[in-house]
Amino acid sequence: MLGGEVHWTDGAPSAGAQGSAAAQTRRAERLYRVALINGLLGHYGLALADWQGSSYLLSNRTGRTEIVGDLAQLWQAAERMLGRCCDPLDPTLLERLETGA
């Protein structure tokens, strides 16, 4: 983990804009992010949890877990666990999101 570097998604616009209606505080925003990501990761059999407000825990169904610091590290870890990239252009994933399955 590189540690200490701010990922661009943690930059000022979210704080300035308060991110979304649901995210009034940094903690709420992290939980909101985790909830959104879990909406996606279910498609891959993975799950994410907040870890002490500073990192995230990524797990698969066999119980393998990795600590990740930001979204860049999350996608790298997911790729290691799955053996393939999580592609947001994948039509199967998009179908699932569009139907709310």
Which spans of this chain sit near another protein (rule: CB under 8 A)? 2, 4-9, 11-14, 16-21, 23, 29, 32-33, 36-37, 39-40, 71-76, 79, 85-89, 94, 97-98
CB atoms within 10 A of CB 52: 8
Alpha-carbon gap, residue 84 to 86, rounded angstroms: 7
CB of 4 to another protein, least distance (A): 8
Task: Report the residue number, 18 or 60, with the smaller CB distance to another protein.
Answer: 18
- Cβ 53 to another protein, closest distance in Å? 16
